[in-house]
Structure 1
């Protein structure tokens, strides 16, 4: 390691006596396939992590950023069997364990079926949670041929028998990609906001949280306009800017009630010069910076 030019590969996981963050890969796009989308998101977790390792800690906040990164466990991949429900249960078990140990899981998908497995961590540990989703789509569809998929995770969470989903809130919706019925369904559960300049504070301050409730954040890369993020499962011709996206990632990381995070729908098969993968890595970097500066 160069002492005047450190990279995250030189720092992550160097002080795990008291781990604070766990990076977890969920390389599944079975839900995307069931939903009729473009496969390829299963290849994203390792590629995002590889790009993350090339970055430097923040030069102004290097002490606090480095301190957190040293307490961040390197990427562990969960095995995905293509039995989607079983894979989601497995992700839920892992997430529940980290939450119980007060370790913040940062989950790299995979398709947005990742989010239901992520939620199951709260259900399995009986922790009430408010879900915040940044997404062009509401993702509250019914099952297809009796199977869950990348478009159904939040209906599954809302209707889960545990009752641990206290609210569902989605921001960045593309109005040309959301049915009136799905919009009405979401608005009964929480907030639904179309594409606009949005901030993490504005989002999180709208949540009516009780003391025991946490916030689960999930960010779907297809909320970002296609010019900034071409490599996704469902490209977005409009969408929010990469600048707004990165500010959101930092703001979510900085909020003490946010206890877990996932990033989904990066599809390297359709990327351009690793542009979207690099943006995804920077998203994780900004989220971890926010956590470090809490």
Structure 2
């Protein structure tokens, strides 16, 4: 597939100056005259400037370029770096065409084990990111970080950025196994939306729950095949780059931690940061925040350590005996990191089994005779 047909090169203003030798700019291969070899890369950055899915139109400047300016001036982290910048995606004739372009591009990158990083545009562009996984022929899990679940009923007067999550969940064929929605603000979220997600046995964590103990969000991100994040989930004081402004939300520390978790997740194969509007970011603070979030994602990626071989010497195995059905639960803990997993079997059919990320608290609850809520939800999804 000739991906170069879909992209415009980076503007000269981003690449004219010689980069400092210790910065990311000195190591990344960026599309200026020659399209980068994306098949040989670990990560591929894609700039987006598609806003037809938004109710408030196109911002004054290209958001991905503003973030790049700050991102490439950051210091390179530890270890190798095989990052290519494919430039900026040319939007399709229609918004639906843009979704399909993203589907083809993301699917092609994933097939070559190159992780696409999608930057900019309205949050509904993650629908194109989602569609790429239809070619996987398996059920997938994903994580979404937003100030509210975008579950509005599609139709006249509803912007695609307000209904893209619903569109994913009702897509046919249905290939979603699980969803984790993180960072919603309850005063912005209709109660019936949370009820609907609970009935579908999906997990949610409000902004208060994430901020109270961000470690509890790690297993939800670790289970994801892809993650999308709207800058509107971050409070305005830390990232004044969206409209309308919200005084509350994730702090920049929680946001960067979630990006680290996503990068560190060896199962995750694409990542998107959406919603940044340059016309709201007078002093460039939001661009700097997003650049730092990207840095943590990339650094997390290069700290990946595949965790395989459950039941081998790589893991400690804990079997918890229970009084009912099931009569036991099996947990695994990595010897290298504070990461836990739980074995979930479909009741009455031990052939259908998954080993899923969990928390130490899930193990403690089981040890006290209580079935973890995560086990109950996953049991329902397996049924």
Do they superpose with TM above 0.5? yes
Native 8 Å contact 1:49 1:75 kept in 2: no
Cα deviation code 1:209-235 (max 9, x no counterpart): 5xxxx5211111111111111111332
> 1:10: which partner in 2?
26
Deviation at 1:39, TM superposition (A): 3.9
> 2:83: which partner in 1?
72
Deviation at 1:102, TM superposition (A): 1.1
> 1:45: which partner in 2?
64
Which of structures 1 and 2 has the larger relative contact order (alpha carbons within 8 angstroms, sep 6+)?
1
Secondary structure of the 2:87 match is strand
Structure number with higher strand proportion: 2
Secondary structure of the 1:280 match is helix
**RMSD across aligned positions (CA):** 2.4
Q: Give TM-score, length-normalised by structure 1.
A: 0.86
Alpha-carbon distance in structure 1 between the residues aligned to 2:110 and 2:84: 14
1:54 equivalent among 56, 68, 73: 73
- Unmatched runs of 5 consecutive residues or more in structure 2: 1-17, 31-35, 305-383
Native 8 Å contact 1:195 1:239 kept in 2: yes
Alpha-carbon distance in structure 1 between the residues aligned to 2:280 and 2:165: 26
- Unmatched runs of 5 consecutive residues or more in structure 1: none
> 1:151: which partner in 2?
162
> 1:103: which partner in 2?
114
2:297 equivalent among 283, 287, 293: 287
Query: Which 10-residue stretch deviates more, 22-31 or 187-196?
Result: 187-196
1:191 equivalent among 177, 198, 203: 203
Q: How many residues of Structure 1 are paired with residues of Structure 2 in the alignment? A: 278
2:184 equivalent among 173, 176, 197: 173
> 1:202: which partner in 2?
216
Q: Give TM-score, length-normalised by structure 2.
A: 0.67
Alpha-carbon distance in structure 2 between the residues aligned to 1:228 and 1:278: 10
1:25 aligns with 2:47: yes
Change in 2 beyond 3 A, CA 1:8/1:174: same
Deviation at 1:286, TM superposition (A): 0.6
> 2:280: which partner in 1?
270
Change in 2 beyond 3 A, CA 1:164/1:218: same
